[in-house]
Amino acid sequence: QVQLQQSGAELAKPGSSVKISCKASGYTFTSYYISWIKQTTGQGLEYIGYINTGSGGTNYNEKFKGKATLTVDKSSSTAFMQLSSLTPDDSAVYYCARGAMMVSPFAYWGQGTLVTVSS
Amino acid sequence: NIVLTQSPATLSVTPGESVSLSCRASQSISTSIHWYQQKSNESPRLLIKYASQSISGIPSRFSGSGSGTDFTLSINRVESEDFSIYYCQQSYSSLYTFGAGTKLELK
């Protein structure tokens, strides 16, 4: 069955970077795009962008350009998202997700990774 | 950006009642709306795609309707496991957006 297993919670200092992972299993990794979504109590669910796991091509929400960088390692069927120049506003749960056929809707979700930015 | 407005913010019901949750788009989006359920401390789960298409494994008491700007998620005879938050999401624009959610709570 399709599974997306995300890396564990991160505690980071303002100004630093974190890189979270999303390991896929149960399907051909390069056949489906992986998207990333941010969830906070205040802003709700926000779409960050997606990566074409076959070509490495990306599409970002303008709001997250310069903040998030999406990459993949095809050899390990893992997608990554690096968040840079962290501020407290980046504190959130981040999900990776996959569509059933298209990028969206999101039929499969990772369990989420909590990122806390605090000095 | 396409803004999705969900109402009500909170809906208090007793098990066995049937309910309708609303999602209104800021512009016409055809039927490019999807509904998710999120229980506390869990990831969202896809319930309905493209306004009214059912998802394998989702109970038949969940149904969706609408097109253009007005969409509805209906739950026929709410069960105790249904108390959670429901979100709509549009894929008409490649800048996908979500509604703020409707919390379905026990009355």
Digit-coded pLDDT (tens) for B4-61: 999 999 999 999 999 999 999 999 999 999 999 999 999 999 999 999 999 999 999 9
Question: What pLDDT score does A46 carry?
Answer: 97
Alpha-carbon dihedral angle through residues A10, A11, A16, A22, given to the nearest 10 degrees: 10
- Per-residue confidence band for B66, with pLDDT thresholds at 50, 70 and 90: very high
A102 has pLDDT over 90: no
For chain B, the residue count is 107
Q: Do B43 and A61 touch (CB under 8 A)?
A: no
Question: At CA B17, angle to CA B12 and CA B21, rounded to 5?
Answer: 60
Please give the Cα distance from B22 to B26 (Å, whole number). Answer: 13
Mark which residues 20-49 of B lie under 8 Å from A by CB.
34, 36, 43-46, 49
- Per-residue confidence band for A103, with pLDDT thresholds at 50, 70 and 90: confident
**B64 in A contact zone (CB under 8 Å):** no
Question: At CA A98, angle to CA A95 and CA A102, rounded to 5?
Answer: 140
Picking from A44, A62, A104, the nearest residue to B96 by CB comes out as A104
Picking from A44, A61, A109, the nearest residue to B43 by CB comes out as A109
